[in-house]
Amino acid sequence: MGGDTSPNLLLHAIVTFAESDVCAANFVLLGTAPLQKELGNLKSKFRKIRENISFVLSGDPIRMDENPLFAIRKKKNSSLCIGMRLLKEGKIDAFVSCGNTGALMSSAKLYLSMKKGILRPALLALLPTKKTPLAVLDIGANISIKPEYLVQCATLGADFQKSRGIKKPNVGLLNIGTEALKGTSLMQKAYQEIEKRSGKEFHFIGNIEAKEVFEGKIDVLVTDGFTGNVFLKTAEGIANLVLDRLKETLAEKEFEEQMGDLQKHLHYAKYPGAHLIGVNGTVIKCHGYSTPEAFLSAIKGAIKTAHSNKTK
């Protein structure tokens, strides 16, 4: 609920996945009465989902154009707020949403406790590079920032990559040049503070320009939420442009044979949403315009994370 894609389309994608043999999860769907009715119709046709999909009726969803703080106070029975409460109470292991980003972050701070020493949550996305996937944060949770938030992003990003098996992640700070004195005074201060932390937890390589991000030299890219969001969506737009031009040039069979792997690496729908990190709970944020394929990728990412947390 609350995204740009029809909830019915997302529902059908979940039902198809839940019916498959590869699905290893139970689902609690949160939505309004029309969606509950549609699920009832589907349950009459499919056997397996009667056992592994339940439904919680919610109130009006939080719209994209609503003020986040006002919305979560006014709409406590929205699917977003109910989901956060279920996560806090331990009734679900992960929460996936494609709704209002500001409301998601605000409700997470309201209902979930913050990790020790962390002031604000951040949104982290994994992007492909020439080598291993890169963790980029923040990509939209915090627009107005202070240097200490960027320092915390470096720590959170490094911890995330260490959980994926990278012993000592390389961290870079997105800037307009590589020199330490490049950028605004805020960025220069952040550079100094992150450099002080470099050593035991991670290795800080300094500033990195956007053109070098995908070379694979770093494991974590630190930036503010405004710049990170623009960077992410620009990268997605360029990737789509490249793929569309190749599709126009090559025959369909030739495109699939030669560009299938490239498409898998470049298409944002293949990547499991953004992790809201810094809070005690697994929260995955999808684009508001996420396709059913992208939504399922986020769900699969949430399942993987939840399984990983249980085995620690």
Rounded CA-CA distance 17/260 in Å is 22
Statement to judge: residues 82 and 178 lie in one domain? no
Owner of token pair 């599709």: 247
Tokens 């709409």, residue? Answer: 75
**Pairing of the two strands 170-174 and 220-222:** parallel
| Whether the Cβ atoms of residue 124 and residue 140 lie closer than 8 Å to each other | no
Q: Are 272 and 284 in contact (CB under 8 A)?
A: yes
Question: Which residues are 201's β-sheet partners?
Answer: none
Residue 155 sits in the same domain as residue 263: yes
pLDDT of residue 204: 96
- In angstroms, the CA 285 to CA 137 distance is 13
* C-beta of residue 202 within 8 angstroms of C-beta of residue 158: yes
Looking up residue 292, the CATH number of its domain turns out to be 3.40.718.10
Q: Are 203 and 169 in contact (CB under 8 A)?
A: yes
Same domain, 242 and 184: yes
pLDDT digits (tens, 9 = 90+) for 218-249: 999 999 999 998 998 888 888 778 777 777 77
**How far is it, in rounded angstroms, from Cα 169 to Cα 157?**
9
Neighbours of 223 (CB within 10 A): 27
Residue numbers of the domain that contains 8: 1-113+279-312
* Structural domain includes residue 121: no
Q: Supply the pLDDT for residue 158.
A: 94
Q: For position 251, what pLDDT does the model report?
A: 72
Residue 119 lies in a domain: no
Q: pTM, whole model, 2 decimals?
A: 0.84
pLDDT value at 153 more than 90: yes
pLDDT at 149: 93
Q: Say if residue 261 is in the same domain as residue 155.
A: yes
* Residue-wise pLDDT tens digits, 163-204: 888 999 999 999 999 998 898 999 999 999 999 988 878 999
187 and 91 within one domain: no
262: left (phi over 0), alpha (psi -120 to 50) or beta: alpha
- Look at the chain and report how many structural domains it folds into: 2
Q: Is residue 274 part of a domain?
A: no
Predicted confidence (pLDDT) per residue in 73-102, tens digit: 999 999 999 999 999 999 999 999 988 888
Do 193 and 231 belong together in one domain? yes
